[in-house]
Amino acid sequence: MPKVVSEVERTQVRDAIYEVTMELIRQKGLRRVTVDDIVAGVRMSKGSFYTYYASKELCFFEVIKRDEAALFDKMKAVRERELDLEEQLRVCIREVYLAEDSLVLFVSTEDLLWLFRKLPVEKLEEKKLLEEEYFSQTFEMFGLDKENYDLLVWSNMISCLHFMAHKVMEVNNKMIPLEQLIAERRAAEISMGILIDGIVGYLIHGAKEA
């Protein structure tokens, strides 16, 4: 007779899958993680894994979704700190979104495109709705009127930030002469600073034209 798994036990297993998958993505990159890797880390059978997720891509989707929710909670905590709005926004970008362990730094745009191509249509629709919800909640959280901003502009800015974060990591991992490495790191950091200034400036002053 099959073992009856309680909801508490299922939650614990999902938590374990989340933690293991997050770490594997950081170590290997999204597209190199296999179901074998995950089940070995969680110490469960493949058959059991597939009772939670029909595919590794659906697992990745849920992991990324959960990580995004965690990032949002961390931004809420920053909002409660005694900082002016501009500084709160900068902290959210540098210390939350671009934190050393942030999944943003380990999942590239190409990885996401690869994943989205493998997801069922309903999950893509769910992703779109979540993006719109986070857009609304982020602006509300910081006391900004979302009607004054363009979702497409915001999305493009986040994509640029994502790209630049990977560029910084790429430069930091280069095996090149020290003088060249210092110059490239400096250029990457300056570029990142300009981008962050632009994002913060848009949020504070850049309401879309009527």
The residue extents of the domains of the chain are 1-52, 57-205
For residues 33 and 60, give the distance between their C-alpha atoms in angstroms, rounded to a whole number: 10
pLDDT of the chain, 210 residues: tens digit per residue: 456 678 899 999 999 999 999 999 999 999 999 999 999 999 999 999 999 999 999 999 999 999 999 999 999 999 999 999 999 999 999 999 999 889 989 998 899 999 999 999 999 999 888 888 888 888 899 999 888 888 888 889 998 999 999 888 888 888 889 899 899 999 999 999 999 999 999 999 865 543
CA angle 150, 156, 162 (to 5 degrees): 140
The pLDDT score that the predictor gives to residue 2 is 53
Q: Which among 91, 203, 175 has a CA at the least distance from the CA of 184?
A: 175
The CATH fold of domain 1-52: Arc Repressor Mutant, subunit A (1.10.10)
pLDDT at residue 200 in the model: 95
Supply the Cα-derived Rg of the chain in whole angstroms: 19
Inter-residue contact 109 to 163 (CB < 8 Å): yes
Give backbone dihedrals phi and psi of 180, rounded to 5 degrees, phi first.
Answer: -70, -40
Distance CA 179, CA 168 (A): 16
Q: How far apart are CA 159 and CA 174, in angstroms?
A: 23
What length does the chain have? Answer: 210
Question: Which pLDDT does position 210 carry in this prediction?
Answer: 39
With beta carbons less than 8 A apart as the criterion, state whether 164 and 192 touch: yes
Pair 200, 89: CB distance under 8 Å = yes
Tokens of 204: 């504070």
